[in-house]
Amino acid sequence: MDTPSTAYLDHTRKLLDARAARARERAGAADAGGASGGGSEAPSPSWQRIAADAEELRGELRDLALDLHDHPEEAFEEHHAAAALAQLLRAHGHRVETGVGGLPTALRAVAQTPGGGTSEIEGDGGDARDGGPTVAILAEYDALPGLGHGCGHNIIAAAGVGAFLAAARELERGVTGPGRIVLLGTPAEEGHTGKEHMIRGGAFDGIDAAVMVHPFGYDLAEHAWVGRRTMTATFRGISAHASSQPFMGRNALDAATLAYQGFGLLRQQMPPSDRLHAVIDSGGRRPSVIPDEARLSVYVRSLIPAALRDLSARVDDVLLGAARMAGVDVELDWDIHPPSLPVRNNHVLARRWARTQVLRGRTALPGGILPDSLAASTDFGNVSHLVPGIHPMIKIGPDDAALHTARFAECARSKAGVDAAVDAAAGLAQVAVDMLDEPELLAAARAAFEAAGGRLAVADYLG
Ligand SMILES: [Zn+2]
Ligand SMILES: [Zn+2]
C-alpha cells in the first residue's frame, strides 16, 4: 500500500501563501499610488487609439465571427476558418504563414516595430537588448461535433484577429517600445491539444508571453482550468459459450465493469481538485458469448500538475486490479492525445486585462471568486506553463448559459457576442502593447511566472 499523496495539501498551502503575498502587494501598490501591473483604472497612454481601432474593425470582426459560426469545422479540419482569418489579415496588409508548427490549419502573422529585430521568430525570446519582447495573441477557431460553435471559438478568433490588427497599427505608428506582436491561429482545442502540437513543432519558440480570451457567462480575469490526460484500457480475455461452457471463458467485460466500479469508489478518496470520467466503448456483441475484449476510455483531470500525476497512478492500479480479478490481460494506452496541464493564470497580466475591461464597462473578476469546481480543460494550460499567459473569460450571455450547449452557440452569434469580441480585441491589444511599452510590466509577469514554479514542459513532466 502506498502513502496518500500530499500534492493537494501542498498546493493549498502554496495558494494561501500566494494570496497573502498578493494582499501585501496590493496594500503596497495602494501606498505607492498604483504600481506597475496594479489595479489602477487609469488607461494606458495608447488606450484611446487602440479602442478606436478596435471600434473601426467592428464590422469586419462581426463578419468573421458570423462566417465561422455559419461554417463550423472540427479539430484539424478548420480550412474555411483558417482561410477566412488569413484573408482578413492580408486585406490589412499582413503576410500570413500557414501550416505553422506542423498543423495545416494553424497560421501566423507578425507585426514589429521599426527597430523590432528580424521578422523571424526564433531564439530565446527578445528583450530590450535584442529588439524587444515578442508577445503572442492566440486565436482558436475549431467547433464541436453536432454543436457547431457551442464553445464560442468564433468569438475567440474575431477577438484575436482584432487584437492583432489593432496592436499592429499601434506598432506601425512607431509610438511603442520595441518588439513584436505575433498572431497565432491555434487549431484543434476541442477534444485535442493543438497548442501542444504547435509547441512541439516550434511555433512558440521565441515567444515571451501569450494572451487569449474565451467567451463565457461571466467576466473573469482569471478562471480555473483543469489539466487533462486521456487513456484507453483494453481488456483481453477468452471467449466461450456463456451457457454451455462459461468456465472455459475469461470475461473482459467483467474487468471493464470492475474498473468502472473501482473508479466510482476511488472518487471518494480523490482531492476536490481532481476529476475522473470513463465510458465503456465496447464490451462484447451478444449475451451468449463471453466477451473476449472490452475497452474503457478514460479522462483524468486535476487543477494541480502533481495531483494529475498521482491520480494517473491510482487509475493504473484500479485497471490492473480489475484485470487481475477477472483473470484477463489489460493494455493501457496513455496520452492518445498529448496531455494538457491546468491553466496557470499570470496575476500581473490578469490585473492589466481587468483594467482594460473596466474601460469597456466590464468588471472582470479576479481568481477564486467563481468556484474552481466550475472547471473544464484547455490546451492553453500547456502554453501557460511555458511563458507568462492569460486566458480571461468574457461574458457573451447569461451566467446559466453553459459552454458546449446549443444555447451557448446562440450567444456566440448574438450582438453580445460581437460586442465581447470588440471589447476583448481592445483589451488583448492593450495588454500586448503594454508589454512592449513597459519593460517593468513584463518583468513583473515573468517574476510571477517564476514564483508559480517556472517553466514546466508537459512532455517531460507526464511523459
Ligand atoms: Zn470547449
Ligand atoms: Zn472553448
**pLDDT tens-digit map of 71-114:** 999 999 999 999 999 999 999 999 999 999 999 999 999 999 88
CA of 127 to the centre of ligand 2 (A): 32
Q: What is the pLDDT of residues 307-336, one digit of tens each?
A: 999 999 999 999 999 999 999 999 999 999
The position carrying cell 487609439 is: 49
Count how many Cα atoms sit within 13 Å of the Cα of residue 435 in the half-sphere of its side chain: 36
- Residue 215 has φ and ψ, to the nearest 5°, of -70, 155
In whole angstroms, what is the distance from residue 201 CA to residue 216 CA?
30
CA of 377 to the centre of ligand 2 (A): 9
DSSP result, 185-241:
E----TTS-HHHHHHHTTTTTT--EEE--EEESS-BS-----EEEEEEEEEE-B--B
CA of 401 to the centre of ligand 1 (A): 13
Closest ligand to 152 CA? 2
CA of 322 to the centre of ligand 2 (A): 35
CA of 273 to the centre of ligand 2 (A): 20
Closest ligand to 216 CA? 2
Written as tens digits, the pLDDT of the chain (463 aa) is 778 888 887 887 787 777 767 766 766 665 554 433 444 567 888 999 999 999 999 999 999 999 999 999 999 999 999 999 999 999 999 999 999 999 999 999 999 988 664 444 444 444 444 689 999 999 999 999 999 999 999 999 999 999 999 999 999 999 999 999 999 999 999 999 999 999 999 999 999 999 999 999 999 999 999 999 999 999 999 999 999 999 999 999 999 999 999 999 999 999 999 999 999 999 999 999 999 999 999 999 999 999 999 999 999 999 999 999 999 999 999 999 999 999 999 999 999 999 999 999 999 998 888 888 889 999 999 999 999 999 999 999 998 889 999 999 999 999 999 999 999 999 999 999 999 999 999 999 999 999 999 999 998 888 7
CA distances for 327 relative to 253, 257, 261, 332, 416, angstroms: 11, 13, 17, 16, 57
Rounded to the nearest 5 degrees, what angle is found at the Cα of 355, between the Cα atoms of 50 and 135? Answer: 60
Which of these, 389, 391, 363, 388, lies nearest to 375 by C-alpha position? 391
In whole angstroms, what is the distance from residue 404 CA to residue 46 CA?
36
pTM confidence score: 0.90
Closest ligand to 153 CA? 2
